[in-house]
Copies of this chain bind each other. A is one copy, B any other.
Amino acid sequence: MKKSLSIKEIAALSGVSVATVSRVLNDNGRFSEETRQKVLKVIKENNYQVNSIAQTLRSQRSTTIGMIVPDIKNGFFANLINQIEATLFTRGYSTIICTTDKDSAKETAYLKALDAKLVDGLICISGQEYLDLSVMSRRIPLVCIDRNPNVKGEVGFVQSDNLTGGTVASQHLISEGCQQIAIVSKSDGPSSIQKRVEGAVNEINQHPNVNYQLLLSDRKDLSNYARGVDIAKELVKQTQPVDGVFATNDWLAWGIIQGLKDHGVHVPTQVKVVGYDNDDICEILQPSLTTISQNIPELAEEAANLLLKMIHIDNGNDGVIEKKRVPVELIVRDSA
């Protein structure tokens, strides 16, 4: 592999001083356009690569963003991460992704690692409710997505409008004639999911002729799909049968549909089902799944913009705590 030139060697080859080469490399201070061209030519011809670690230490800027995510196997997270990465890349930033599996020891280890690599900013998606930033040696601009930051200082917060998502889902079921609605979620869900339930309950309470029941699965040992199948067993046993289900996750919704089918209950003729997330599976299932779509491109754009804004603001400014709420959309398919 080619050995990098030193700045001294570049200076000699360009016929300028070391200080001038340094100014050109850092685009900092005075030099003529002619000098700049001369130095860049030598650099290009010799494939010189700036020693980024040393440069990072000097400038305290790494043009790298760290992203802490609980789980990349979840389709919604994967799509979101992908979009944020793509957006930041067009703005000149590399994104390094760390997955924590919702394990707080891992979260701490990765915060320290990202701190040590002098990332310019952090994006934290969902995960634990409490984020312990005290492990970091410096204050780093931070944007949280779909998790309540619960931290002091400059923090941006971007989230989907989960409350409206729940409202719209139950509105749709009611407009389709449902009067006995089951709201199905997980007892261990984060606040973003609790908001969906809250929205649905609030809406149903506006309609005196509509009843609801709340079913929260506590089966942490099961996948979302298996939890749905499990909940369906409960639903078919009830004396007053449900005619509508709002599940706070698409895989959960699909498990319910399959579980109902196993007991001879047809979706959508007997029970209508609405999911949440607009996962890639929604389109390929039969019946295809009516769901609430989170606007992933807009979530990504807002998070990236907010973080870059915080990075470029003078560090002394403590007042930047912005909150952005991104609208959601009902996608009507065959299940409701």
Binding site for B on A (CB under 8 A): 1-2, 4, 49, 51-54, 56-57, 62, 64, 71-73, 75, 78-79, 81-82, 85-86, 89, 94-99, 101, 106, 109-110, 112-113, 115-118, 133-139, 153, 225, 251, 254-255, 258, 280-281, 283-286
Find A284's partner among B86, B109, B225 (CB 8 Å cutoff): B225
Q: Pick the most buried of A52, A71, A81, A118: most chain B CB atoms within 10 A of its CB.
A: A52
Given A1-B133, A284-B254, residue A81 in contact with residue B99 (CB < 8 A):
yes
The residues of B that contact A136 with a CB separation of less than 8 Å are 1
- Taking the full assembly, how many copies of this chain does it contain? 2
Q: Is the CB of A53 within 8 A of B64?
A: no
Find A281's partner among B49, B86, B153, B281 (CB 8 Å cutoff): B281
Min CB distance A114 to B, Å, is 8
Find A2's partner among B112, B134, B258 (CB 8 Å cutoff): B134
Q: Is the CB of B94 within 8 A of A97?
A: no
14 A–B contacts, CB within 8 A, in A order = A1-B133, A1-B136, A49-B135, A51-B116, A51-B137, A53-B116, A85-B99, A89-B106, A89-B109, A95-B99, A96-B97, A97-B98, A258-B284, A281-B281
Min CB distance A107 to B, Å, is 11
A256–B89 CA distance with the chains assembled, in angstroms: 36
